[in-house]
Amino acid sequence: MKDWFILEEIPRTHYHLFEGASDYWSKEMKKDIGVKLDTFICFKKGENFFGFTKKRHAEAGKRTLKKILKNPQWYLNIQKQLEFYSNKLMNSSNALQKKDFSLMSDKELEKTFSSHLFFHNKCHKLGMLDFVLEWGYELLSNYLKSHLKEKIKEKNLPFKVSATFSLLTTPHKESFQLKQEKEAMKIALKILKDKKTKNLFLNKNPEQIIDLLPSVNKKIGKEIHFHYRKWNWLPFMYIGPPWDKEYFVDEIKELIRNEKELPELFKKMNSRIKEIKTEQKQLIRQLCLDKKHKSLFDISRNIVYLKGLRKDALYHSFYSYEPLLKEIGKRLGLSLNQLRFMWPSEYKKAILKRQYNPKELNDRFNFSIIVIINEKRKILTGKAAEKFRKQLPSPKEYKLSELEGSTAVPGMVKGTAKIINLPEDMAKMNEGDVMVSYSTNPNLVPAMKKASAIITDVGGVTCHAAIVSRELNIPCIIGTKIATKAIKDGDLLDVNANHGIIKILKKGKK
């Protein structure tokens, strides 16, 4: 029996996410680091988790780190390609939004799907070494933290390793989420200059504002509509839904309520990148980092930024090609759900030759496991899937008063725990609560903004929780492995993100 382990759970996903990634892990990775991975990907009614064999995954991570330490430029070149193809995918997705798929022949439809999928898969593949380098083991991060510890001691500097590492690995470029928030602030600042529009936002709910805005301030109404059309895909992930216009109106409404703080907050957001660069340069001088370690911190900083860029490019891709899938489904008599559980390479025969099995697609959605061993892929359903599932580890329950993880953003907080894994969980989140999640995603951003601290079971410095926490400047501990099992709603927590320690001070009422 293989030593399988579960690396990550992903909510509400489907087959299309994994073709490029699994091809890389099982075949192409060998060209880069001399080892390939056996993989399993489990789906059960839209939920998903995937993993590898422990020994091979650990070996791949060690080889990747060794190659980076020997030649940092090798990985910097991969990162340049990743940024290039992420932007290519964004451009391809934008082009899809301008097409009328109903006018295309079957051949044109299949070609459009395949062409877009090329950029989709290329973008995804180029980020897959991160899964063996950082996800689970944090090999490069731990190497750099160890080096920082030595340098801080050598130079007798009054720095904390976690805070120094967090600052040196903070990206120099803004995420799409941050850009959206800045643009929303600009709109809010314009509204504050117009008394009538300001009163509308202060005294009406989002639905009423949308109805009345054209007659009160047509220009602002158009700006908000454009803003909504530009950014509604941000939480789409793999199957949606996108944010509606009410979400953005509510966001702007909240900004207007904080009228006194808004100008200063906007100013800080605009100057933050410049400040980060200045602080990083000063730290590098004080630590006397050599050329090699400067490059390694460049790599780590790029990992954080490019993980977000790659994910956003993929989310935008899924959002943009949904109308294409709907047209394919219309011609084949298949639902979106069935199409999402067709392996991408199966589309050509389905579209051009009408070769597909609707029952098989339903079975895949209900419960299926893709297993790739020695480059051979099998899709298991029914009893075969159940048999394989028994080889995989099951979740455990934990009763602890203290647990540890890795620092993503330093800081110390006390607060009430709320377990937030799905959008429907967010209703219980109050301002100042400590958000505890298996792993965060764009759908959970509204809850993250309310949190005084964020704790996750999985993830490294490149995970969504770490990236967003840096932008929000919220203390964050990642990779606890068991937080959602050991902590319950209502528990009073002492979160020490300086040292990655969480203490359960008082259990919540059941």
SS3 302: helix
List b or e across 150-181, with b for residues whose CB sees 16 or more CB atoms inside 10 angstroms.
ebbeeeeeebebbebbbbbbbbeebbbbbebb
Task: Please give the pLDDT value at position 395.
Answer: 60
List, for residues 205-247, the tens digit of each pLDDT value: 999 999 999 999 999 999 999 999 999 999 999 999 999 999 9
Measuring CA to CA, which residue among 292, 301, 303 is closest to residue 69? 292
Task: Please give the pLDDT value at position 135.
Answer: 80
Angle (nearest 5°) at CA 104 between 98 and 109: 90
What distance in Å separates the CA atoms of residue 109 and residue 103, rounded to the nearest whole number? 9
State the DSSP string of 55-79: HHHHHHHHHHHHHHHH-HHHHHHHH
Beta bridge partners of 453: 434
DSSP state of 439: S
What distance in Å separates the CA atoms of residue 237 and residue 491, rounded to the nearest whole number? 30
Helix axes 322-332, 106-125, angle to 10 degrees: 140
| Structural element, H or E, at residue 373 | strand 368-373
pTM: 0.90
- Order of strands across the sheet that contains 4-10: 4-10, 47-53, 39-44, 368-373, 376-381
Question: At a CB cut-off of 8 Å and minimum separation 6, what does 237 contact?
Answer: 11, 12, 13, 315, 318, 441, 442, 443
List b or e across 435-457, with b for residues whose CB sees 16 or more CB atoms inside 10 angstroms.
bbbbbbbbbbbbbbbbbbbbbbb
Domains of the chain (ranges; CATH) run: 4-130+332-389 (no CATH), 176-269 (no CATH), 402-506 (3.50.30.10)
Question: At a CB cut-off of 8 Å and minimum separation 6, what does 217 contact?
Answer: 191, 194, 196, 197, 200
Task: Please give the pLDDT value at position 1.
Answer: 58
* Length of the chain as a residue count: 510
Look at strands 434-437 and 412-419 and give their pairing: parallel
Look at strands 402-404 and 501-506 and give their pairing: antiparallel
> What stretches in the chain show pLDDT beneath 50?
none
Please name the residue that has the structure tokens 């070494």: 129
**CB distance 39 to 48 below 8 Å:** no
Give the rounded distance of the alpha carbon of 378 from its chain centre: 28
